[in-house]
């Protein structure tokens, strides 16, 4: 599926619609350059789940954890990962084995340590908005 998203609000709406469709256990890879809208999409998902607080990219923490509406959501950002082996040190397999929706930004940084995703989403800046591509 491909779609043009004219604004941040449209990107958040797609995230909200993902909340309605993704199963309780799902691995989602988020691809795109800095500022492409990956965290904005996750924010839309979290808002649909009832989250009222700020949603920031976990660039320095590597992972943010949310428990909302009976679901567990993990938001990873691997941008600053120096070595994919670091994923073992943070216990990535423990996170991924839980019944949780796991969003992983910059999954290419974790090559060989991450399993195949259930869904892969690419966001690309385009004109005034962004292009969204979802692969299952």
- Please say whether the dihedral angle defined by the alpha carbons of residues 77, 83, 84 and 88, taken in this order, is positive or negative: negative
Are 3 and 131 in contact by the 8 Å Cβ rule? The answer is: yes
Which residue segments constitute the domains of the chain, with CATH numbers given? 2-135 (3.40.50.300)
pLDDT at 15: 96
Question: Does position 23 have pLDDT exceeding 80, yes or no?
Answer: yes
Question: Does position 111 have pLDDT exceeding 90, yes or no?
Answer: no
Residue 97's H or E segment, with its range, is helix 92-97
Q: Is the pTM of this model over 0.75?
A: yes
Mean pLDDT over all residues of the chain?
94
Question: Does position 60 have pLDDT exceeding 80, yes or no?
Answer: no
Q: What is the percent of the chain where pLDDT is above 90? A: 78
136 pLDDT tier (thresholds 50, 70, 90): confident
Q: Tokens for 84?
A: 């994919």
pLDDT at 132: 96
């Amino acid at each position: 599926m491909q779609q043009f998203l004219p604004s941040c609000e449209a990107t958040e709406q797609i995230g909200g619609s993902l909340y309605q469709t993704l199963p309780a256990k799902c691995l989602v890879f988020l691809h795109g350059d800095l500022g492409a809208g990956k965290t904005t999409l996750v924010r839309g998902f979290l808002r649909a789940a009832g989250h009222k607080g700020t949603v920031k990219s976990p660039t320095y923490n590597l992972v943010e954890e949310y428990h909302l509406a009976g679901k567990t959501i993990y938001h990873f950002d691997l941008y600053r990962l120096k070595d994919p082996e670091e994923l073992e040190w943070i216990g990535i397999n423990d996170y991924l084995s839980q019944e949780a929706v796991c969003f992983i930004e910059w999954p290419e940084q974790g090559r060989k340590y991450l399993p195949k995703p259930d869904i892969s989403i690419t966001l690309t800046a385009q004109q005034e908005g962004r292009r969204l591509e979802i692969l299952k």
